[in-house]
A and B are shown apart, each in its own frame.
Chain A
Amino acid sequence: MKTRSSYSILNSIAITLFTSNCKGVVKMPRNELIDLARKATLIRKHIIEETFCAASGHPGGSLSCTDILTALYFREMRVNPANPSWKDRDRFVLSKGHCAPALYATLAEKGFFPAEDLTGFRSIDSYLEGHPNMTYVPGVDMSTGSLGQGISAAVGMAMAGKMDEKDYRVYAILGDGELEEGQVWEALMCAAHYKLDNLMAFLDHNGLQIDGKITDVMSPEPVADKFRAFGWKVILIDGHDYGQILGAIAEAKSGSGQPVMAVCSTVKGKGVSFMEHQAGWHGTAPNKEQRDQAHAELDAFLKAMEDEDNG
């Protein structure tokens, strides 16, 4: 019985959509996996609250990259919330800057600033700008929002790391619609040319952009082949499976002389039933009822994990 219920939770964390080519899926003790899932759920609740309070913002893409952010900040990245500008820290660039709600929530959960501040998101008296701002927000390593530029900045950070012979690593998350920006490919070319194996990017491959399916608007497919042709090592994973995300990170750290792209199969709106797979939730905030329903779903998930922990 116990095992079955565990699997049902795992299934709602990760819907494996294809076979990963990741070499080693990280196997975590069940309690650690649940800790991560709980963190991600809290972050998802913040995303709902931030966009609800602001009555604007981008919940869909924020929810789709939440598990990647959770794995990075709570299992991998060398950062110190008490010293956000620590020179030797790992860097993170949210190239798809519109998903600031997810980044801010992650940073708040990590302790960079109080979670209470999140409700000020996008308001005139808050430092939490609509898109990530490195000047005002502790923990934000690069100001982004204009698609295509963040990945170039991440390339610059990785170049600086190589120049200084530092061992910090640079991570970035790209949107799949963002791939339509030519600058992304300039940046990818540059990263491969300078053999930036201290750089790892995650493609949030949720298949949707503002106007609909990426394949209808302006297809960037086949993305994995293109990344390989641009000199990147490609790892295909499920972007909601912590074991696979961490496995890809571990593989990327082996330093092959190439930058690494984790093509993450994801669900836009992940975790909130009525937002999943809906382009309409790209840049629409939930109203009161929708927000309450989203919280109810996420709370039920938290409760199930708690029961399992106790059980």
Chain B
Amino acid sequence: MADKIATREAYGAALAEFGADPNLVVLDADLSKSTKTDTFKKKYPERFFNIGIAEGNMMSVAAGIASCGKTVFASTFAIFAALRACEQIRNSICYPKLNVKIGATHAGISVGEDGASHQAVEDVGVMRSIPNMTVLSPSDGPSTRLAVKAAIEHQGPVYLRLGRLAVPVIYNDAMLKDFSLGKGILLRDGKDLTIAATGLMVHEAIKAADMLAAEGVSARVLDFHTLKPIDRDLIIQAARETGRIVTAEEHNMYGGLGSAVAEILAENYPVPVRMVAIRDQFGKSGKPDRLIERYKLTAQSIVDNARMLLAAGRD
């Protein structure tokens, strides 16, 4: 059984790890214990500010601080960042292209018991459509650490999509040595189809590839930790070499990874695509693993969709 760590946990640890930079400032909106920015706060209290339960204000304050030459992380739950404070992110941060990194935790239905009001299923679609915004959605602890590092090094706004649930560790250091913002990762090569995944669905994609291998199907697995700018070449190459793509994400079927892949393919190299995603519904309360089953965000669902694509190919 692989080690497990929530990406929010890795986020907090990374902020503390890279926090020695005197230019780094962290803001939170009364959720520092949940977003894990309290890890940074304990180490660098003089550069941590609680803005209170005022997410819109937090985003514009972050913009003001960034305009004075600092790199600012602003954290809250994905739903309150991308949705409540959407327009502040758009006008105060993205329009002037300021160095604000939004650490959005508790994305997706894997939030669990808090239920639909706290489960962002549309945040990627909203954030991805704002000019100047970069969107990251790492799949495990080690890649989250590098995503935070890349966000610090990148000049301009970044939306960092993180989860509440502890998820299996996928990567070791060697596998991540070429980690680069905007570049997807080839986790497993294959020739019959490609599974393009992001966030906690990357682990399911690997499981699905194993299940397909047992049936004699060779599936390529790609991790899109950067959803914008999406790795266009990697998608086109996968379409050309494997002819069909299953996308997998813990997000609504509109606006997320599936959409991003389809956008690239439609313009460049159309091949059949099936999306494993939330089918335009709100989430609900429940144990995370039960919700993941209920919303069909599983390796089995990826396998089922892969079979559909393969069957269609045989007609």
Q: Give the B-binding residues of A (Cβ under 8 A).
A: 87, 91, 93, 133-135, 141-143, 145-146, 148-150, 152-161, 163-164, 182-183, 186-187, 189-190, 193-194
Is there an interface contact between A159 and B49, defined as CB atoms closer than 8 Å?
yes
B60 contacts A190, C-beta separation under 8 Å: no
Residue from B57, B67, B88, B96 having most chain A Cβ neighbours under 10 A = B57
Q: Is A159's CB under 8 angstroms from B64's CB?
A: yes
- Judge if B1 is at the interface, Cβ distance under 8 Å: no
Contact in complex: B25, A163 (CB < 8 Å): yes
Given contacts A135-B96, A149-B88, contact A183 B60 (CB under 8 A): yes
Docked Cα-Cα span, A159 to B52, in Å, equals 15
Contact A194–B49 (Cβ < 8 Å): yes
B97–A156 CB distance below 8 A:
no
Task: Name the B residues within 8 Å of A183 (CB-CB).
Answer: 54, 56-57, 60, 88
B residues near A161, Cβ cutoff 8 Å: 68
A194 to B58, CA, bound (A): 13
Scan B86-108; emit 1 where CB is below 8 A from any A CB, else 0.
01100110011100000000000
Contacts of A163 in B (CB 8 A): 25, 46-47, 65, 70
Q: Are A155 and B64 in touch, CB under 8 angstroms?
A: yes
Count of inter-chain pairs, beta carbons less than 8 A: 105
Q: Is the CB of A143 within 8 A of B95?
A: yes
Number of interface residues of B (CB under 8 A): 28
B69 within 8 A of A: yes
CB atoms of A156 and B87 under 8 A apart? no
Could you tell me which B residues sit within 8 Å of A by CB distance?
25, 46-47, 49, 51-52, 54, 56-57, 59-70, 87-88, 91-92, 95-97
The CA of A291 and the CA of B96, in the complex, are separated in Å by 33
CB distance from A167 to the nearest CB of B (A): 13
State in angstroms the CA–CA spacing of A187 and B96 once bound together: 20
State the CA gap A182–B84 with chains docked (Å): 13
The complex places the Cα of A159 from the Cα of B47 at a distance, in Å, of: 10
Which of B59, B64, B68, B69 has most chain A Cβ within 10 Å?
A: B64
Given A134-B67, A143-B91, CB of A189 within 8 Å of CB of B49: no
Could you give 27 example pairs across A and B, Cβ below 8 Å?
A93-B64, A134-B67, A141-B67, A142-B64, A142-B96, A149-B63, A149-B88, A153-B92, A154-B64, A155-B64, A156-B61, A157-B65, A157-B67, A159-B49, A159-B65, A160-B64, A160-B67, A163-B47, A163-B70, A164-B68, A182-B56, A183-B54, A183-B56, A183-B57, A189-B54, A190-B54, A193-B52
Complex CA–CA separation, A133 to B96 (angstroms): 7
Give the complex CA separation of A142 and B61 in angstroms. 11
User: Which one, A146, A152, A164, A182, contacts B64 given CB within 8 A?
Assistant: A152
Residues of the A chain whose Cβ atoms lie less than 8 Å from the Cβ of B61:
152-153, 155-156, 159, 187, 190
